[in-house]
Structure 1
Amino acid sequence: MPRRGGPIEKRAISNVQKVLAVSSGKGGVGKSTVAVNLAFSLSSLRDPTTDTRLRVGILDLDIFGPSVPTLMGLQESGEPELTEVGALRPLVNHGLPTMSMGYLLPRAPDTDSTHDTPVVWRGLMVQKAVQQLLFDVDWSLGQKGTGLDVLVVDMPPGTGDVPLTLGQLVKVDGALIVSTPQDVALADVRKGIAMLRKISVPIKGLLLNNSHYLCPICAPSSSSPTTHPPHYLFGSPERFRSTAARLGIPVLAELPLVPGVSAAGDRGVPYGLVDRVWREPEDGLGGMEWIEGMAGVASSLWEALNTSNTQ
């Protein structure tokens, strides 16, 4: 509906320098896993102006299916504390402050987890919850004059109330779009990109998840004895590449399918923190490629967030 006062003016999130949305029009492409591991990789970078590591937080905006509590090992944590002015204090693990609707849901009497607590809300209640998560969280972490360099926002799938509320109310500095190779995923990704562009969210890059599989026990390639041939379990990445070229969006990485990434997420540990003694025998070259690829994505996005270029 048209508003008499004109369009809503976007505003910044308090104590946050840059807002980075991790989005996809399709569910089940590993977006939340990418968001958590991207935040961890970003926190390993240093700000060249201060020579200090980046301060990074994670905001889970998936109201109906929050995954960050599980991926960060906080699914059985208590409810967030409140500041003196009633703002929510983020929950911290692995050095990363996080906030999610999963922390705020009521718990069943016989468990400390909210895994089985459904969110059965209509649109207006969802918008209210999103606005609270956006503007009623204290990202200063109790340290006056400081805050986050980057807030990574894990978006829900689709093009509904939540992404629209974020895009219309918040100054989003960039978005990373995650997809898998299948046509059914790419179709929804194109819709998601069109929606983000319509609400003026700059898209900084595309990431192809589960692009290929590097078998750790298969015979090496005859042409390159030190490498293993990739197996394209979900189809060729060519359709993804052609979509990116047609839309004029850079491809930041094509990450392999690595079983250890999923296993680490189930344990609530970013994959980069998994001990190499356990990681390498299980995942082989795929695990190394995944970590190096995610580190490259973090570097590219930090550079892109600090430029004025928009899509």
Structure 2
Amino acid sequence: MSTKTRLSVMLSLFSNFLDHAKLTSRETPQGLPRNNAPPQMPRRGGPMVKRGIPNVRKVIAVASGKGGVGKSTVAVNLAFALASLRDPITAARLRVGILDLDIFGPSVPTLMGLENSGEPELTEGGALTPLTNHGLPTMSMGYLLPRSPDSDSTHDTPVVWRGLMVQKAVQQLLFDVDWSMGVRGQGADVGLDALVVDMPPGTGDVPLTLGQLVKVDGAVIVSTPQDVALADVRKGIAMLRKVDVPITGLLLNNAHYFCPTCSPSRPEPHHLFGPPDRFHATAARLGIPVLAELPLVPGVSTAADAGVPYALVQQAKRQAEDGVGGAKWVQGMGEVGMQVWESVNARSG
């Protein structure tokens, strides 16, 4: 199917969903390839068969119980931190990709500066080709949505689907994307060393589909200090454990704030959203390690809106605008990347 034909089908399907909300098992989600049917969800009483994502060595999920805690920003920066590491054997940098599984509110296109990139190409086999920026290949539902007539962006285009269509879209984003990056073969020749999966918040169809169908090597859970966020974190962890997804660790985002004029030698953290005591108590009760406490840094948000991982912002600019907080954020995310990579490799060993 040509790109033009596929776009025509995509627009037709989307119009049908909005006008009539007719969801049948024969319909294909907008913009997703029709061939290479993905595996079916396990039937009641049948075995749960998990598989790896083609051309990916390690799958690392970034999840949260509640939305708005900075999960997608953490996912993108974690991917960049992993890509900064080197393989101890080959000394080559890790090959890392990002998969955005938030069907209803995809953020990766904006965070990676790809919101106006257009739709991805198809391989000869009908698989989606990732879009790349900052050296990181990405895939997102946001690339597949039609543009509004009066805009070059998909920001105003809603996805109006029920559970069945969401499951089908997730399965195709998992198994019908070509992560080989032009490299064919198995083992050391696999396309990606790690795929960071940005999950939607909550415990709905998407995390359940991922947990039931994919061999996930580790999950990073992002929270903020408030009790309302921690309550949903506990629910999310319970759900992931039910589908045997290993939890690598908890990350506390917006843990505190350093004023830009604070002394670098003796910075004083200000806990704007409350102390981290309840967060640490939750981690201890669940038996999950704490990966980091990242400060609230205005520049992280500014860089995210500009589609740039924060570590790529010029150091002089970070120092001038964010001071010690910016330096500690970059250092903390780098340490998270190392901890996560060591954990997922130790588990497989």
How far apart are 1:4 and its partner, in Å? 6.4
**Aligned twin of 1:162:** 206
What residue is the counterpart of 1:176 in the other structure?
A: 220
1:47 equivalenced with 2:106 (yes/no): no
Structure 1 counterpart of 2:135, from 95, 101, 107: 95
Q: 19-28 or 138-147, which moves further after superposition?
A: 138-147
1:134 equivalent in structure 2: 174
Tell me the distance in 1 between the aligned counterparts of 2:240 and 2:170.
17
Separation in 1 of the partners of 2:261 and 2:342? 37
Shift, 1:277, TM fit:
1.7
Q: Is 2:110–2:307's contact at 8 Å kept on the other side of the alignment?
A: yes
Asked whether 1:283 is paired with 2:327, we answer no
Q: 2:122 aligns with which of 63, 69, 82?
A: 82
Residue in structure 2 matching 1:18, options 46, 58, 72: 58
Share of identical aligned residues, percent? 78
Tell me the CA shift for residue 141 of structure 1: 1.3
What is the CA distance between 1:228 and its match in structure 2?
Answer: 2.2
User: Structure 2 residue aligned with 1:250, among 279, 284, 289?
Assistant: 289
Partner of 1:196: 240
Unaligned regions of 5+ residues in structure 2, if any? 1-40
Residue in structure 2 matched with residue 72 of structure 1 by the alignment: 112
Aligned residue pairs, count: 305
C-alpha separation between the residues in 1 aligned to 2:42 and 2:170? Answer: 22
- Superposed CA deviations along residues 153-192 of structure 1, whole A, max 9, x for unmatched, are 0000000000000000000011000000000000000000
**Counterpart contact for 1:214–1:286, Cα < 8 Å:** yes
Does the CA-based 8 Å contact 2:42-2:49 persist in structure 1?
Answer: no
In structure 2, what is the equivalent of residue 265 of structure 1?
304
Distance 1:4 1:60 in 2: 28
Q: SS of the residue aligned with 1:167?
A: helix
Aligned residues of 1:59 and 1:154 also touching (Cα < 8 A): yes
Structure having the higher strand fraction is 1
TM-score by length of 2: 0.85
Greater mean deviation of Cα atoms: 101-110 or 297-306: 101-110
Q: Secondary structure at the match of 1:22?
A: strand
Q: 1:203-241, CA deviations, whole angstroms, 9 ceiling, x for partnerless residues?
A: 0111000000001125x4xxxx82221100000001001
Distance 2:45 2:273 in 1: 49
Q: Take 1:214 and 1:2, find their aligned partners in 2: how far apart are those partners?
A: 49
Change (3 A) 1:273 1:4: closer
1:121 to 153, 161, 177: 161
CA RMSD in angstroms comes to 1.5
How far, CA to CA, are the matches of 2:261 and 2:327 in structure 1?
A: 15
Distance 1:271 1:97 in 2: 17
Conserved in 1, the CA contact under 8 Å of 2:147 and 2:153?
A: yes
**Which TM-score applies when normalising by structure 1?**
0.95
CA displacement, residues 131-155 of structure 1 (integer Å, 9 cap, x when unaligned): 0100000000122233100000000
Query: Residues 77 and 112 of structure 1 are in contact (CA less than 8 Å); yes or no, is this contact kept in structure 2?
Result: no
User: How far off its partner does 1:279 sit?
Assistant: 1.1
Tell me the secondary structure at the aligned position of residue 151 of structure 1: strand
Which string of whole-angstrom CA distances, capped at 9 and with x for unpartnered residues, describes residues 60-114 of structure 1?
0000000000000000011000000000000000000000000000111232210
Instruction: Please tell me whether residue 209 in structure 1 is matched to residue 257 in structure 2.
Output: no
Q: State how far apart, in whole Å, the 2-side matches of 1:269 and 1:227 are.
A: 29
Q: Which amino acid in 1 is paired with 2:166?
A: V
1:207 corresponds to which letter in structure 2?
L
- For residues 42 and 125 of structure 1, the distance between their equivalents in structure 2, rounded to whole angstroms, comes to 32
Question: In terms of mean alpha carbon deviation, does 102-111 or 182-191 score higher?
Answer: 102-111
Deviations 1:237-271 (A, max 9, x none): 01001110111100010000000000000000000
Any idea what SS the aligned residue of 1:249 has?
coil
Tell me whether 1:60 sits opposite 2:104 in the alignment.
no
